[in-house]
Amino acid sequence: MSKEMTIHLKYWKQNGPSDPGHFEERTLDTVNEHMSFLEMLDVLNEELQLDGIDPLEFDYDCREGICGSCNLVINGQAHGPKDKTACCQLHMRNYKDGDKITIEPPRAAAFPVIKDLVVDRSAFDRIIEAGGYISVKTGSAQEANATPIEKEASDASFDYATCIGCGACVAACPNASASLFTGAKIAHLNHVPQGELERTKRVVAMVDQMKEEGFGDCSNFAECEAVCPVGISISAIAEMRRDYVKAVIS
Amino acid sequence: MPSLLKAMNSQVGRKIMTGITGVALMLFLIGHLAGNLSIFGSADAFNIYTKTLMDLGPLLYVIEAALAFLFLYHTVLGVSIWLKKRKARPQSYDTYKTKGGPSHQSLASRSMIISGSVIFIFLILHIIHFKFGAEYTTMIDGVEARDLRQLVLEEFQKTWVVIAYVFVLALTILHLSHGFWSAFTSLGMKNQNRSKKIQMTAYAFAIILMLAFIFIPLYIYFTGGQGSLITY
């Protein structure tokens, strides 16, 4: 038997970056406990449209917790209350009948609001463009064992490569810093021989771009690690700092 | 590669410099405490310590200038990081809550700007209070020297002075308990197990160091400067 709940929603409405935006409220009486958070928002939008009101815009794609498109700040926490869980994988059974839920977009100058809860995260793309790549000739995939990599290095690289670029780190950071994202994108390449060629250039360019985009400074709050849906550790930031110092010394 | 100046002004460089200056200031605090504790030595110990410093002459000015630079640089970095955060998030959240777990958000980490500002203002008043305070004189080995000990013993019998010092020193526990761990993290500590140990060490360091500082005014106040640890 699935349970139905009444949920009181308070959500952010904003018609673009120049609109000051405001909160609206609505109560849903038929929230099934097995719904995902985004399915609950689908129900909200059905109700809104039946009443002739503009639906609430929010970002999503895979709804499987792997693409990083969804990034809502739910009751003040990026992706909501569950550890290592993207909000598309957050289910309404985590809430109680009568709960009040506040939904806001990730708030950062570098993430301007496109509409309602949808923000422009292309600042992340530009950080990657600055150095998050390797310059090798493409073509057919080479034989898998042509470049031997120690297991520890490949595991570390893969751990950092799990970053899905959702921006929860920025959303949750009291300073709106993008250090965890940038650190992860640098570290996953710097741990393997393929990334060695641009190692020093990469860290300097990506750190510069991070500042250029208007993200804040890191104050070692480590809140980014707490909200990261894939559990990337702040050791990524430490590695970025080490690599940066090495780049300056070299 | 970036010039040293550009690197020091990058977001990574600024954090590293905050860490380096922070570590230097913590080392200074240890030295400062060691000097302060000489008040419990022989009748002349504290004044010999201050005289030794004064006798350094021009070298003392160099040390003082370096310390002033460290404090100012650390403060400027801290304030500018705080100011930039307002620019990076012009609109704050209606509701904001830490997720706990590995997060280091705490009263200490969120109030660094407040504790830091109070410490900075205190520092200026503290220098005026003692360095430029009343000039008593004493004789050490037949040579006239400043009797700073007399001033310290007098001042720490005033209730408002003791309350102010204890308040600021307690606030410094808060500042150091995050600052100690944060400095290591800024300087590239990445091992998570070590990180937990460093945080525990940070609490111990902050509490032990500051309680030792706090003990001095409290002891003088409650014993009226006549306690058995004070030799005349």
Any idea where the domains of chain B sit in the sequence? Answer: 7-86+110-223
H or E element in which residue A28 lies:
strand A22-32
Task: Give the single-character DSSP code of B96.
Answer: -
N-terminal to C-terminal alpha carbon distance within chain A:
65
CA of B109 vs chain A CAs: smallest distance (Å): 7
250 residues of chain A, pLDDT tens digit each? 678 999 999 999 999 889 999 999 999 999 999 999 999 999 999 999 999 999 999 999 999 999 999 999 999 999 999 999 999 999 999 999 999 999 999 999 999 999 999 999 999 999 999 999 998 777 888 888 888 899 999 999 999 999 999 999 999 999 999 999 999 999 999 999 989 889 999 999 999 999 999 999 999 999 999 999 999 999 999 999 999 999 999 8
H or E element in which residue B221 lies:
helix B192-223
CA of B183 vs chain A CAs: smallest distance (Å): 9
Q: Once rounded to an integer, what is the mean pLDDT over residues B101-111? A: 93
Question: Per residue, what are the HEC states of A195-234?
Answer: HCCCHHHHHHHHHHHHHHCCCECCCCCCHHHHHCCCCCCC
Question: What CA–CA distance (Å, rounded) separates A216 from A177?
Answer: 4
Looking at this predicted complex, what is its ipTM? 0.91
> Which of A81, A214, A217 lies nearest to residue B14, judging by beta carbons?
A217
Closest CA to A244 of B13, B125, B104: B13
Mutate which of B3, B11, B199 to test chain A, going by most A C-beta atoms within 10 A? B11
CB contacts of A214 in chain B (<8 Å) are 87-88
List of residues 6+ apart from A152 with CB closer than 8 A: none
- Each residue's pLDDT tens digit, B133-155: 889 999 888 889 999 999 999 99
Closest residue of chain B to A227, computed from CA coordinates: B99
**Do the chains contact at B109 and A211, CB–CB below 8 Å?**
no
List of residues 6+ apart from B106 with CB closer than 8 A: B178
CA distances from A107 to A184, A211, B3, B202 (A): 21, 17, 33, 32
Question: What CA–CA distance (Å, rounded) separates A47 from A42?
Answer: 9
Question: What CA–CA distance (Å, rounded) separates B5 from A191?
Answer: 28
**Do the chains contact at B14 and A220, CB–CB below 8 Å?**
no
Report the predicted TM-score, pTM, of the whole model to 2 decimal places: 0.93
Name all domains of chain A by residue range, CATH numbers in brackets: 4-104 (3.10.20.30), 122-249 (1.10.1060.10)
Q: Taking the CB of residue A18, how many other CB atoms lie within 10 A of it?
A: 9
List of residues 6+ apart from B8 with CB closer than 8 A: B14, B17
- Please report the residues numbered 112 through 171 in chain A whose beta carbons come closer than 8 angstroms to any beta carbon of chain B: none
> Which of B84, B105, B110 lies nearest to residue A217, judging by beta carbons?
B84
Q: Which residues of A162-179 are buried (b: 16+ CB within 10 A; e: fewer)?
A: ebbbbbbbbbbbbbbbbb
Q: What are phi and psi of B107, to 5 degrees?
A: -55, -40
